[in-house]
Amino acid sequence: MANARTSSGPANPRFFTRSGPFDAQALAEAAGATLVPPREGSFPAGGYTGIAPLQGAGAEDVSFLDNRRYASLLEGTQAGLIIVAPAFADKVPAHSAALVSATPYLAWSRVARLFHPKAPPNPGVHPSAVVDASAVVDPSAEIGPFVVVGARAEIGPRCVIGAHAVVGDGVVLGADCRIGSQVTLSHAMVGERVIILPGARIGQDGFGFAVGPNGFETVPQLGQVVLEHDVEIGANTTIDRGSVNDTVIGAGSRLDNLVQIGHNAQLGRCCIVVAQAGISGSTVLEDYVTVAAQAGLIGHIRIGAKARIGAQCGVMSDVESGADVIGSPAMPFREFFRNVAVLRKLSKKASGPAEDGSGKG
């Protein structure tokens, strides 16, 4: 049933504006790719007008092949221009031009962005917004309906603050940030070009308490959150501020939706944290670490540069640079899958041939 659905294709005009048309040369430049003209026929006279998947594309559409397992779609496509890796260049149909790139996904991304650029900020403060008199909002910034901007907050040039976002007292946003609807930001120093999707919570109290004579007593959380340049934060993700030191998300790092970052955690440059993963307090990720979905890292450990933490992994101790770990507790990938195989074999042996063949549980 899901298969039978017809999609509106990419870039439904209800939701997306479109630039163009663009000629093949302009697209090649945007893509940083090598242009190969069609072996039969010519480029469309009016240029290319948009993007489309291989199956639905026409003579004025740009399409792309990124995943080897969809290569068979090249044969039947009507796309006028196709972005491919060198290995597939000779499989492009005769009537199609090609943009050949060693990084076809990146090339595609840039072409798609050319046709569908981000809307620029619409400068000004919505009349419903509540902006403290001591806040400094750059006149080129866009402040949406019902936004609250606290005392002494600073909002940089060309920032876009979505409806209902709350920018707390003293928070600083660098240039060109995009803050989604209903984000809350407090106790935060934010760099440039930072993107935060709707509902993310940045800078609230960390989970800190001491056992007192009459129950738990909250420990004051006196640090802040630092989001460096080019960080992106997913929807409904939570990043607690530090207790004494800062919680830091390094430049270029990307967090998916529903991620939890505990107080004092420090992520290096260009880390990736996929949906529903959690990083406990005071843990350090060096640069280029990847944490896959639903993984969990205990507090006060260090993950070396370029390490990769697998999905649902439970990390209880330091991980070396460049390591690939998975499982709970975490272990090297090959060890994990060897364990799985060994246990399966032992289990089959234990259950015996009769039961195994019976089909009953």
Residue 148, φ and ψ in degrees, nearest 5? -115, 125
Choosing from 116, 164, 187, 263, which is the catalytic residue?
Answer: 263
Asked whether position 34 contacts a second copy by CB under 8 A, the answer is no
Which residue's CB is nearer to a second copy, number 38 or number 156? 156
CB 255 within 8 A of CB 278: no
Those residues with Cβ within 8 angstroms of residue 66's Cβ, 6 or more apart along the chain or in another chain: 104, 105, 108
Asked whether position 23 contacts a second copy by CB under 8 A, the answer is no
Asked whether position 285 contacts a second copy by CB under 8 A, the answer is yes
Which residue's CB is nearer to a second copy, number 123 or number 332? 332
Which of 140, 115, 164, 145 minimizes the C-alpha distance to 13? 115
Out of 135, 238, 307, 325, the only residue in the binding site for a second copy (CB under 8 A) is: 238
Instruction: Specify the stretch interacting with a second copy by CB under 8 A; choose among 23-31, 34-42, 86-94, 210-218.
Output: 210-218
Asked whether position 306 contacts a second copy by CB under 8 A, the answer is no
Q: How many residues bind a second copy (CB under 8 A)?
A: 129
Tell me, yes or no, if 116 is annotated catalytic: no
Residue carrying structure tokens 């007593």: 217
Give the pair of three-digit tokens for residue 158: 């060309």
Which of positions 118-177 make contact with a second copy (CB under 8 A)? Answer: 126, 128, 130, 144-146, 148, 152, 162-164, 166, 168-170, 172
Q: Across the chain, how many H-helices and E-strands are there?
A: 4, 38
CB 231 within 8 A of CB 251: yes
Asked whether position 354 contacts a second copy by CB under 8 A, the answer is no
Q: How far apart are CA 314 and CA 252, in angstroms?
A: 25
Which residue's CB is nearer to a second copy, number 45 or number 357? 357
Q: How far apart are CA 160 and CA 180, in angstroms?
A: 8
Least distance from a second copy to the Cβ atom of residue 99, Å? 14
Q: How far apart are CA 98 and CA 320, in angstroms?
A: 42
Q: How far apart are CA 273 and CA 293, in angstroms?
A: 7
Across-strand partners of 27?
none
CB 60 within 8 A of CB 37: no
Residue carrying structure tokens 């505990």: 262
Helical segments of the chain, H only: 24-31, 73-76, 104-115, 333-358
Instruction: Specify the stretch interacting with a second copy by CB under 8 A; choose among 39-47, 71-79, 86-94, 266-274.
Output: 266-274
Asked whether position 49 contacts a second copy by CB under 8 A, the answer is no
Residue carrying structure tokens 């272990």: 331
Which of positions 56-115 make contact with a second copy (CB under 8 A)? Answer: 103, 105-106, 108-110, 112-113
Out of 16, 42, 46, 134, the only residue in the binding site for a second copy (CB under 8 A) is: 16
Asked whether position 191 contacts a second copy by CB under 8 A, the answer is no
Instruction: Specify the stretch interacting with a second copy by CB under 8 A; choose among 10-18, 22-30, 76-84, 85-93.
Output: 10-18
Q: How far apart are CA 346 and CA 359, in angstroms?
A: 19
Out of 22, 199, 308, 325, the only residue in the binding site for a second copy (CB under 8 A) is: 199
Asked whether position 204 contacts a second copy by CB under 8 A, the answer is yes
Out of 45, 94, 211, 354, the only residue in the binding site for a second copy (CB under 8 A) is: 211
Out of 123, 157, 198, 304, the only residue in the binding site for a second copy (CB under 8 A) is: 198
Asked whether position 39 contacts a second copy by CB under 8 A, the answer is no
Out of 30, 143, 248, 309, the only residue in the binding site for a second copy (CB under 8 A) is: 248
CB 278 within 8 A of CB 256: no
List residues with catalytic annotation: 263
